[in-house]
Structure 1
């Protein structure tokens, strides 16, 4: 389809102006797995528009489009990080729906030949945990679900553990117990308070340098059962410092949705990050193109694919960062990957219309709206619903 499709959008002063959409880019799907890096996209769930998906209600999921979105990610060579915070763990996705999501997605991964890892947490506890044993047992309950489904385990950061732990020794007691019984190498998960304020001081220290010492010590003691650690602190220099301290063979999966191109590309010291990113769900074609270019050693093409996505990522993950999930679902809707812009827990209301308008413009600039006519029609419908048109 050629360019020339236009839509009227409100500017900063509220006045409507004509925006002409770019012609979509012709992104190439990979013919073989990526060689240079391991890359997961943390995927969202598509809500059933006829479900009672209001705050506090059990999630009602549109399974056809939820699984179809995962096939979209696998088609671009990305692994799926399932049932993570992007899927609204702790923000609308209850444990019953989470279990079904893990089982359905893992079966779909086997059928599609796609890679999948899934989050193991403690969010099914409906009351505050009484002690460390209860937290560890909650992790074990979820670990069994993920292992039975056949997905790789991601040990998610736990609000329950953060609330009950008195210091680094308490984190060690829980993680030592879990890593000793892990059926295969797991991915650890360090999610900063910008993503979840309840996780401040994770690993037993408010000082991130001290926290780094604690978690690196844990990894060194369990190298055989730790594949890597996902670090989501939005601090590229800190990620480099963590990366430099990891034992050989343990991966740093960047969760930095602001600085991913430079961290994945790597530095002159030969160190680089792999990827486990929410933004990859929104930019899968561009991320795939960049990683294919990296495999070819074509750094110019790598930068050309990724550079236009960074302003989009910074918009989607802008403060308050934990509402970024609304941007992921919005972009999937604009791209025709789901029929409506609705989310479990009613979270589609978490971003303002001006925020979504800017997100639309930046996705267009990055060449990530595959059908401009559809995107323009859906944006116009949204503006009409909000009373702008």
Structure 2
């Protein structure tokens, strides 16, 4: 009963309650059955998943490590290995470490098919996580194919209405990553309506769907439509999760980026500083979310002429880490354009113009959205005007 109750609370986003029930379940199983019993191990791996969902990665890792040690003492146990792969995959996935998550989730999906072929609901959950990992690895079309597989009748029959709506939401997000925007909008609108009916408009699930729709509109340059959705999603998720939770901080960042696109620089900076500071304190400078927020905060600071603080942020950007959080966004050229803008504002005009021309050409070739390109084109025009004026004099 404790285990089942914990899983229910986890599905509702009530993670503190879920953790308490799952912790007690693990203690009871250990007392009655021993630390290496398959049921004890399963409950501990489930606890680790919930702790990961709560962004308590350090405690989740401790639970995972202890469970792995007890599983090793017990010897070969395919069920425990399945539970471990699933939990480690989730742990990596939520930290933006998709390349490490994917093989664990692939292992879990294979084991699930072999050990529990009739439990399509659990396989459905594993494959959903697997698709998210593929999204963040730049393998969006593979994610779309995997999620479309879950639309087949045998999976739809096995899934609850809530699970089906959640899968539709994930499919819409995958289509967004795959830049299939028209398809993504239709799927996300349908999923959002279904989640509103099932969970209510003030639920975690509905807020995430609104956030995805907002991100879609933001991506395709419809920021005025995106911003109210992102604000509403941020307000709901911060209320439910708390102000320092990763999900809340992420949505402050999303709102800040949208405001930056709309030219609301002051409000954008407030949101981005809050989100970046929270991510940096909790996860460090090399965390994917920290890097993405640092990029946009640096752009905001450059627009305000605050070059020293911007230089510190730009110096710490890693295009490979940025790509793991937002694949296909051509981060090398974008970071190069930021660095060139910094040179321009510091008076190194010749070199700045050379680098800006190169970066802008690369972004144009990649057909990045106009709102991404516009400020760098303006900086380039300004730099070229400075060179022309210098040559005339």
Give the structure-2-normalised TM-score.
0.30
**Quick one: higher RCO (CA 8 Å, sep 6+), 1 or 2?**
1
Greater C-alpha radius of gyration: 2
Q: Which has the higher strand share?
A: 1
